[in-house]
């Protein structure tokens, strides 16, 4: 029975974390160059398709994020969706030692200071459209002004680990 698997979680936030971890997602880096310093925030809560016209995407950012305080002042944010083989890079860009995040990372920086990660699956050049409170996070709406896909397949975050897409089963391939 489904309901036998449903648990109350008031007293234990780990139940929420573990259950949410079963939801597969892509992983994004929101990155900006501010006065020559590069900042990146890695987020698995990123989602596309909030709106097509205007082109809006969303991300939930912990209120405790130091990096958000910095990049929320940027005029443009580069969003890179990590690709196959970039699990190590994802962890590096989320490292608590912020100074080490961009060591040896191949990037491109736009004239507006949006930072894009080489080898990602897709990129969006965004500005911040709206920020609202959502419990212990900020719900951030981003407007994409330019976007494009690369050659690499996306990385998948699931069960607190990185996975790669498998070929579609024969029944779905047609
Ligand atoms: C796979 C992965 C997914 C993450 N997803 C989010 C997210 O959706 N929102 C968020 O605020 N932080 C997320 N984080 C944590 C941030 O990337 C970052 O480590 C955290 O904000 C602390 O760094 P800061 O204080 O420099 O912001 C994620 C980290 C990893 C490794």
Query: What is the distance in A from the centroid of ligand 1 to the CA of 139?
Result: 14
Instruction: Give the mutation target among 62, 137, 156 for probing the ligand 1 site: most ligand atoms within 8 A of CB.
Output: 62
Identify whether 12 is part of a domain. no
pLDDT in tens, 1-18: 999 999 888 878 899 999
Q: Which of 14, 115, 130, 109 is closest to 61 using CA atoms?
A: 130
Instruction: Give the mutation target among 40, 43, 102 for probing the ligand 1 site: most ligand atoms within 8 A of CB.
Output: 43
Query: What is the distance in A from the centroid of ligand 1 to the CA of 77?
Result: 16
Identify whether 74 is part of a domain. yes
pLDDT, mean of residues 83-109: 97
Q: How far apart are CA 121 and CA 87, in angstroms?
A: 13
Q: Which domain holds residue 119?
A: 26-150
Based on the structure, what is the number of domains in the chain? 1
Identify whether 102 is part of a domain. yes
pLDDT exceeds cutoff 70 at 64? yes
Helices first, then strands: H and E counts in the chain:
4, 11
CATH code for the domain of 38: 2.30.110.10
Q: How far apart are CA 61 and CA 63, in angstroms?
A: 6
Q: Is the CB of 40 under 6 A from ligand 1?
A: no
pLDDT, mean of residues 149-169: 96
Half-sphere exposure of 2 (CA within 13 A, CB side): 0
Identify whether 170 is part of a domain. no
Q: How far apart are CA 33 and CA 157, in angstroms?
A: 26
Atom of ligand 1 nearest to the CA of 41: 17
Atom of ligand 1 nearest to the CA of 40: 26
pLDDT in tens, 17-40: 999 999 999 999 999 999 999 999
As given in the structure block, the two tokens for residue 59 are: 């991300």
Q: Is the CB of 42 under 6 A from ligand 1?
A: yes
């Amino acid at each position: 029975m489904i309901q036998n698997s449903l648990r109350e979680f008031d007293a234990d936030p780990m139940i929420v974390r573990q259950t949410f971890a079963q939801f597969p997602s892509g992983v994004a880096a929101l990155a900006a160059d501010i006065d020559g310093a590069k900042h990146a925030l890695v987020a698995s809560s990123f989602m596309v398709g909030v709106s097509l016209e205007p082109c809006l995407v969303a991300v939930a950012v912990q209120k405790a994020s130091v990096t958000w305080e910095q990049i929320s002042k940027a005029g443009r944010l580069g969003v890179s969706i990590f690709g196959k083989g970039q699990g190590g890079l994802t962890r590096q860009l989320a490292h608590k030692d912020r100074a080490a995040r961009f060591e040896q990372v191949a990037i491109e920086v736009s004239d507006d200071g949006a930072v894009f990660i080489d080898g990602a699956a897709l990129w969006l050049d965004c500005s911040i459209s709206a920020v609202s409170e959502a419990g212990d996070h900020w719900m951030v709406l981003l407007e994409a002004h330019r976007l494009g896909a690369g050659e690499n397949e996306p990385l998948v975050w699931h069960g607190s680990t990185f996975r790669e897409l498998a070929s579609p089963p024969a029944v779905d391939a047609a």
